[in-house]
Amino acid sequence: MRMNEGVEWALHCCVNLAWVGPDEAVPAAGLAAFYDLPTAYLNKQLQALARAGIVSSTSGPKGGFRLARPAKDITLLDVVTAIDGPEEAFRCREIRRNGASRKLPDDYRQRCLIAQAMREAEVSWRRELAARTIADIKGAVERQAPDGPELTRRLLLRPPRSRR
């Protein structure tokens, strides 16, 4: 089980966009240069965030991406769902309805308790992610390095021409 690698990229980008603020848009090329990532592929991930309503995109010069709502209203689960898809990791295929097991009494197959247990574990995971917002991460990093945000802002608003 491996999560989409773009989730890490998207989370970092969201924190950076929170520092830049909603007045300036940052193009995908700028964010890609910031972490040395493939521009086009990062663009694809940001598109997914735009479709999910997490960021808003504008075309043309001075265009790019910016947060579509306050950082405190964007949970980690929102980002993970946007990039990695809404489907659960464990999918019950109801295998117990096939083969010889269909000879068993119906009430045996009423509810799949295995699927239920797996689902509860995933709910716990989701709950944990939904409890943390981009603003939480942002605040924690600021306490760790107070001058980081300002430097990030400066680097992102004067992007190099392009690296890829």
Partner DNA sequence: GACGGGGTACTCGGATAGAGCTTGTCCGAGTTAGCGTGG
Partner DNA sequence: CCACGCTAACTCGGACAAGCTCTATCCGAGTACCCCGTC
Residues at the contact surface with its own copies, assessed by CB under 8 A: 1-5, 7-9, 11-12, 15, 32-37, 76, 84-85, 87, 89-93, 95-96, 98-101, 103-105, 107-108, 110-111, 113-115, 117-118, 120-122, 124-129, 132, 136-137, 140-141, 144-145, 147-148, 151-152, 155, 160, 163
Q: How many other β-carbons are positioned within 10 Å of the β-carbon of residue 91?
A: 9
**Comparison of 25 and 134: residue with beta carbon closer to its own copies:** 134
Instruction: Round to whole Å and give the CA distance between 93 and 114.
Output: 11
Minimal distance in Å, beta carbon 42 to DNA? Answer: 8
85 part of the interface to DNA, by CB under 7 A: yes
Q: Give the CA distances from residue 8 to residues 13, 21, 37, 65, in Å, rounded to whole numbers and listed in that order.
A: 9, 20, 12, 17
Minimal distance in Å, beta carbon 1 to its own copies? Answer: 5
20 part of the interface to DNA, by CB under 7 A: no
Minimal distance in Å, beta carbon 55 to DNA? Answer: 8
CA 52 to mean position of chain CA atoms: 10
**Comparison of 85 and 148: residue with beta carbon closer to DNA:** 85
Q: Which does 58 bind (CB under 5 to 8 A by kind): its own copies, DNA, none?
A: DNA
**Comparison of 60 and 110: residue with beta carbon closer to its own copies:** 110
Instruction: Round to whole Å and give the CA distance between 1 and 79.
Output: 18
| Three-state secondary structure readout of 52-65 | CCCEEEECCCCCEE
1 part of the interface to DNA, by CB under 7 A: yes
Q: Give the CA distances from residue 50 to residues 66, 69, 112, 156, in Å, rounded to whole numbers and listed in that order.
A: 9, 11, 37, 19
Please name the residues in contact with 53: beta carbons below 8 A apart, sequence gap of 6 or more: 68, 69
Q: Which does 124 bind (CB under 5 to 8 A by kind): DNA, its own copies, none?
A: its own copies
